[in-house]
Amino acid sequence: MHRVLSMDATLAPRDPRAPGQFGHPVAVPDDKQEEAKSRWKEGNFNVYLSDLIPVDRAITDTRPAGCSEQQVHDDLPSTSIIMCFVDEVWSTLLRSVHSVLGRSPPHLVQEIILVDDFSTKEHLKEQLDAYMSRFPKVKILRLRERHGLIRARLAGAQVATGAVLTFLDSHVECNVGWLEPLLERVRLRRTKVACPVIEVISDKDMSYMTVDNFQRGIFTWPMNFGWRQIPQEVIEKNKIKETDIIRCPVMAGGLFSIEKKYFSELGMYDPGLDVWGGENMELSFKVWMCGGEIEIVPCSRVGHIFRNDNPYSFPKERVRTVERNLARVAEVWLDEYKELFYGHAYHLLLSAVDVGDLRPQSRLREQLRCKTFRWYLQNVYPDLEAPLVKASGLLMNVALAGCIAVEGTTLAFRECDVNNPNQKFNYTWLRLVQHGELCLAPAGVLGAVGLRRCQGRSRSLAWLHRSLAAAQPGLAEHLISEQQQQQPPGPACLEAAPSRRALRVKRCDPGNPHQKWRFGRYHAD
């Protein structure tokens, strides 16, 4: 083994006084404000400043103490670096490539594959070829139509010859010693997927900033990626050090190393995902559930320009594209937990997005003998709140303290009995009041209610309650039917009639306790 190589061609920069040198912030001169402003949209960051900064600027070594003394193996696998871009700004693309060339041990870089995802900008054509012809390791793969990030990465992976694939965005700066610690993890176990700590290159002043330690990649419903700090008490209890590997439920998506053969065994990315977004969820679930691990390696650090908006167009609308990708991922990987996804993105359920053919992905999951999403939650992401239903137990009327019961295929209103299974209902993420296969439903005539076979995608079976009903003043404890009402106009609520103890749907009345209901237990708001 050897001490990690602190290779950095920029340690003695050509011009120490150049703007942005050492990752310092740069200010736009007063007389250039207009120009800087007008060029912002070329990349949705300060393109004017980026162009002033040397493409091989130095940045400070932000690694935690101890990283530079770590030992890595002499026989690390070599890697192909794959960088996809569409209409990337010249200076940031060059800076990305130079940071790899300048701060990676050359023998570990098999090649740098730049995948041009059908860019329209002139500087990315002959000018780029000419510039990169000086660097024999840099190869440019030109796609002849827009593939989108996900399929562009697959195209890059197809031609890559290294044992490991390392994906990077096209506006990054790799820091000193970034590569060996990633490859060390993959060498340790071929099913490890290693991510660097992603630091921040300011979109405004182009400064290189470090980030808080102990961050995990996580998601919240409906599958929004985020970072979350490991709680201080957990750090103390387990004596976690700044240099310790962090296991992540999900990766950010852009920056990681994965063994090429393992990536291909996993079927790479689902090729049915479109353009951009959600692929990080897909790969993360697939890796964890099918025997691998996602790790953040604190001694590997790469800066990335975070932008508020994509500077390129989407073939279809962006939100629609991402939502469709996520729904596809949910359908393939989430098992019964996909109800949580749809419950938090209910409009997707109603619009019945066309997720395409899922069979190849389901077959893959079977062939790989992947574990269940429940296993993933228990073992990889136990701190995610994921109750399978929103509420459960008896469904009690507030005014009469009586409960709804299923008798055969009809409904009755009875004295509450916690031991009677026929009085147990779930309030589901799909907004159903459900007992087994049967769901509470307005029967259509004269305000009657009855039972119907449950059907998640049907709005006529859905009820609003608690947080969902709270938008309508005074109705939070009510059960508001989502069925389109003909007569009477306005929202209709479930009511236990005071006299005959019968159930019916009547016009919602905030003050009426006969319309207020409580489930035995609430698992989510």
Q: Which does 343 bind (CB under 5 to 8 A by kind): ligand LR7, Mn ion, none?
A: none
Nearer to ligand LR7, 233 or 317 (CB): 317
Provide the CB-side half-sphere exposure for 200 (13 A, CA): 11
Nearer to ligand LR7, 304 or 465 (CB): 304
Three-state SS string across 127-156, please? HHHHHHCCCCCEEEEECCCCCHHHHHHHHH
Q: Which does 149 bind (CB under 5 to 8 A by kind): Mn ion, ligand LR7, none?
A: ligand LR7
Integer Cα distance of 476 and 206 in angstroms: 48
CB of 505 to Mn ion, least distance (A): 51
CB of 318 to ligand LR7, least distance (A): 10
Q: Which does 280 bind (CB under 5 to 8 A by kind): ligand LR7, Mn ion, none?
A: ligand LR7
Cα 267 to chain center, whole Å?
19
Nearer to ligand LR7, 268 or 404 (CB): 268
Q: Which does 310 bind (CB under 5 to 8 A by kind): ligand LR7, Mn ion, none?
A: ligand LR7
Nearer to ligand LR7, 76 or 179 (CB): 179
CB of 10 to ligand LR7, least distance (A): 22
CB of 298 to ligand LR7, least distance (A): 16
CB of 255 to ligand LR7, least distance (A): 6
Tokens of 468: 């969902």
Nearer to Mn ion, 88 or 295 (CB): 88
Binding site for ligand LR7 (CB under 6 A): 84-86, 88, 117, 148-149, 152, 169-170, 198, 252-255, 275-277, 279-280, 304, 310, 312
Point out which span in 77-85, 88-96, 167-175, 343-351 binds Mn ion (CB under 5 A). 167-175
Integer Cα distance of 171 and 204 in angstroms: 14
Q: Give the total residue count for the chain.
A: 525
- Spell out the residues 6+ positions from residue 293 whose beta carbon is closer than 8 angstroms to its own: 189, 191, 192, 193, 247, 287
Integer Cα distance of 249 and 376 in angstroms: 9
Residue 199 makes contact with Mn ion by CB under 5 A: no
Q: Which does 56 bind (CB under 5 to 8 A by kind): Mn ion, ligand LR7, none?
A: none
User: Which alpha helices (DSSP H) does 64-120 contain, by range?
Assistant: 90-103
Integer Cα distance of 109 and 337 in angstroms: 41
Nearer to Mn ion, 116 or 482 (CB): 116
CB 296 within 8 A of CB 216: yes
CB of 195 to ligand LR7, least distance (A): 9
DSSP-assigned letter for residue 275: B
Nearer to Mn ion, 147 or 424 (CB): 147
Residue 169 makes contact with Mn ion by CB under 5 A: yes
Task: Of 453, 339, 334, 451, give the one whose Cα is nearest residue 390.
Answer: 339
518 CB neighbour count, 10 Å cutoff: 18
Residues that bind Mn ion (CB under 5 A): 169
